[in-house]
Amino acid sequence: MPVIDAVVVGGGPAGLSTALVLGRARRRVLVVDTGRPANAVSSTVGGLLAQTGVAPGELRRVGRRQLAEHPTVDVRTAAALDAEPSGGGVAVTIEDRAPVLARALVLAHGLRYDPPPLPGVGPLWGRSVFHCPFCDGWEVRGRRLAVHGNGPQAVRSALLVAGWTDDVVLCTDGPARLEGAEPVLARAGVRVREDPIRRLRGGSDGALLAIEFITGPLEVRDALFVRTQRDQPNRLASTLGCRLSAAGTIVTDVDGRTGIPGVYAAGDAATEHSRSVANAIGFGSRVGYAIVLDQLARAAS
């Protein structure tokens, strides 16, 4: 079995960033990617320094082109199916390829984000139904916004979104459980609507037009912020025995070490909060440094 320095699972911002550091350090790296990034549905990446209006796919294409200048980096479209510790490294099973033995494995495969199953949400997700105001709030600032959710978490989200507009409706989709937060919400100008939602009414190009309720008038809204259900997108972390946080992300130290020899994680897969392209790039880069330095230390010991 050929031995290389690292296999990176995931060719998103995190994985490409790790591969760039390793490629520049002349390490032999294989990046495998199935091409299903978290933000595939979005038209642009918001909040990335020096990149205004860049599309997620374009960012990856430019990243891959940059990596192509590094002869020790190989980027393939394929799925990593399995991984197990083996002979001081990690043996990785990759779709349609011979298994690869690597000194390091980087789990940079992102997270799966599922919006709540509101009727009509599908074509609007990532276009006018969002999960993160830091990513998309600026583009809808000053507009008619809504937040879907209930309980303290939803109160926090509504207060956060109120920073981007004076017109926010918190849709609790049933009897509100606001635990005394009504005055705070009122002070922030957030209206509360308890009627159960019937469906989201959308227009062309994924635009939200209105929220329809089982009872009462509809709410004309330009965007809706929701809470997503998030999971690891595959079983690699659990198969390897990586520890997961309550949020379902891989637990690592600041440099992405999982505690399992040779196994690192970067990007969304290992980020409990504040997940973004910028943070994934930074995390991926740190992991690249850590791999080079750890392998050097091991070789010297």
Q: Which is nearer to ligand FAD, 54 or 188 (CB)?
A: 54
Q: Which is nearer to ligand FAD, 47 or 99 (CB)?
A: 47
Q: Which is nearer to ligand FAD, 200 or 280 (CB)?
A: 280
CB of 69 to ligand FAD, least distance (A): 20
| Cα 249 to Cα 33, 82, 273, distances in angstroms | 19, 18, 9
Query: Which spans of this chain sit near ligand FAD (rule: CB under 6 A)?
Result: 9-15, 32-39, 41-42, 45-48, 79-80, 108-110, 113, 126, 135-136, 233-234, 267-269, 275-278, 280
Give me the helices (H) in 180-276, please. Answer: 182-187, 236-240
Q: Which is nearer to ligand FAD, 56 or 262 (CB)?
A: 56
The DSSP bridge pattern shows strands 100-107 and 263-265 to be parallel
CB of 289 to ligand FAD, least distance (A): 17
Q: Which is nearer to ligand FAD, 5 or 136 (CB)?
A: 136
CB of 207 to ligand FAD, least distance (A): 15
Of the candidates 264, 256, 289, 262, which has an alpha carbon nearest to the alpha carbon of residue 4? 262
Q: Are 148 and 127 in contact (CB under 8 A)?
A: no
CA distance linking residue 158 with residue 178, whole number of Å: 11
CB of 107 to ligand FAD, least distance (A): 9
CB of 190 to ligand FAD, least distance (A): 23
| Cα 155 to Cα 72, 133, 143, distances in angstroms | 50, 14, 19
Q: Which is nearer to ligand FAD, 11 or 262 (CB)?
A: 11
CB of 268 to ligand FAD, least distance (A): 4
CA distance linking residue 99 with residue 277, whole number of Å: 30
Q: Are 266 and 14 in contact (CB under 8 A)?
A: yes
